[in-house]
Amino acid sequence: MIVLRQAEVYAPQFAGRQDILIAGGEIVKMAEHLDCGQVEEIDASGKIAVPGLIDQHIHITGGGGEGSFHTKTPEVQLSSLIEGGITTLVGLLGTDGFSRSVENLVSKAKALKEEGLSVYCLTGSYSYPSVTLTGDVKKDILFIDEVIGVKLALADHRSSNVTLDELIRLASDARVAGMLSGKAGIVTLHMGDDPQGLNKVFDAIKQTAIPAKVFHPTHVTRNPVLFEQALDFLELGGWIDLTAGSRKEKSCGDYIEAAKQRGLDTRRITVSSDGQGSWSTYDARGNLTQIGVSSVKALHEQLVRMVKENEFDLAEALSYVTSNPADALQLSRKGRLQEGMDADIVLLDKDLAIDTVIARGQLMMKDKQLRVRGTYE
């Protein structure tokens, strides 16, 4: 058992100064003062206790490859996730669903779970028909514990250019499989630069009874037209995901401000890192001009920017990387500091630097020093 003493708690809403008792991987008790007997005590006075960050878009087995084999990015390391304050994540594939597989993805998810984190994943990749483990998207979601949805690229030159009927069928399969398995059953849409943008998604919603919440478009700040479509989609009741490192000159907070100006519900906006994925740029003829690797630490960096540059209240900034993604992914024990929730807790310094990380009740980092590393780190 562990007790955090006198932390300034943001749950993510401000909850005052409290002691937090952790046992059996969950938050057992929170109060102004707890008499706990013989437990490990951590002095959290002067620290801010927040929920562990949730990153719903990480290429845990690596991504990239658009510039041939030598441009494939490496898989994620446990230590990078801990140092980024990430305690819950969703792994997925990217352009390359051929030399990388759903089998690799699920295996890596299981490995990170064994090392102490909470890990989920998506079947599929950019392409259609979807690459799967069982041979069927529905069965992957139904019978593989870690799989909570499917991924697809839309309006991108690397996509399979699905038809409207194909998109509807995929969303229907994910929706039903999610209902039957008690999971989110989402379709995460990698959005590209094609002018059609979200048009097929709007058509699917108009022509069927599929709820908007099934579709989760990401990278929606890629261009101004796409972002305006994303705001229209948000207005329909959908979720949109902002990529933390996609536009370094602007923070995610700048785009959230635009949503506020339209009077939209920002509780359905999330932020993710695209960690270990490749960022790439192309010329007018479609030739690759630049490629690099995205960092999982971009999620925490955006949290800090939203507070310091956009002057968001910490509680609001936290919601985009904790409670909002927990709700979007239907992870009922994640994203909040409350009794009975999983003990995923990050202690921040007053300048919002990460000091201590606890995942599922296990102390992973303390006083900025890693306590746990990956098996081969």
Say what the pLDDT of residue 246 is.
61
* Tally of CA atoms within 13 A in the half-sphere of 185 that contains its CB: 22
Q: Give the mean pLDDT of 222-236.
A: 97
Catalytic residue among 55, 140, 274, 344: 274
C-alpha of 340 from chain center: 22
Say what the pLDDT of residue 280 is.
67
pLDDT digits (tens, 9 = 90+) for 240-257: 999 997 656 789 999 999
Looking at domain 2-50+336-370, its CATH superfamily turns out to be: Urease, subunit C, domain 1 (2.30.40.10)
| DSSP code of residue 328 | H
pLDDT band per the 50, 70, 90 thresholds, residue 65: low
State the pTM of this model.
0.95
As a whole number of angstroms, the distance between CA 179 and CA 277 comes to 30
Detail the DSSP E strand segments found in the chain: 2-10, 14-23, 26-31, 40-43, 48-51, 53-58, 86-91, 118-124, 147-154, 186-191, 215-218, 240-243, 269-272, 278-282, 288-293, 345-348, 354-359, 362-366, 369-370
Asked if domains 2-50+336-370 and 53-328 share a fold, the reply is no
The 10 Å Cβ neighbour count of residue 181 is 17
Q: How would you class 207 by CB atoms within 10 Å of its CB: exposed for 0-12, middle for 13-18, buried for 19 or more? A: exposed
Say what the pLDDT of residue 247 is.
56
As a whole number of angstroms, the distance between CA 270 and CA 5 comes to 30
Quick check: helix, strand or coil at residue 206? helix
User: Hey, what are 247's tokens?
Assistant: 């536009």
Q: Which helix (H) or strand (E) holds 179?
A: helix 164-181
351 is catalytic: no
Considering the chain, what is the average pLDDT of its residues? 95
* Residue 92 near residue 151 (C-beta atoms within 8 A): yes
Q: Give the mean pLDDT of 317-337.
A: 98
pLDDT band per the 50, 70, 90 thresholds, residue 37: confident
**pLDDT > 70? residue 279:** no
Domain 53-328 sits in CATH at: 3.20.20.140
Q: Give the mean pLDDT of 342-361.
A: 98
**pLDDT > 80? residue 213:** yes
As a whole number of angstroms, the distance between CA 277 and CA 279 comes to 7
Q: Give the mean pLDDT of 131-159.
A: 96
Picking from 109, 84, 40, the residue whose alpha carbon sits closest to that of residue 346 is 84
Say what the pLDDT of residue 248 is.
65
Partners of residue 124 on adjacent β-strands: 151
Say what the pLDDT of residue 95 is.
86
Minimum mean pLDDT among 194-208, 272-286, 321-335, 349-363: which range? Answer: 272-286
User: Hey, what are 263's tokens?
Assistant: 């009077």
Minimum mean pLDDT among 60-69, 93-102, 115-124, 314-323: which range? Answer: 60-69
φ, ψ (nearest 5 deg) of residue 84: -90, 0
Higher-pLDDT residue of 100, 247: 100
The 10 Å Cβ neighbour count of residue 6 is 17
Domain ranges of the chain: 2-50+336-370, 53-328
Minimum mean pLDDT among 154-163, 231-240, 324-333: which range? Answer: 154-163
Q: Give the mean pLDDT of 285-305.
A: 87
**pLDDT > 90? residue 310:** yes
**pLDDT > 70? residue 49:** yes
| DSSP code of residue 113 | H
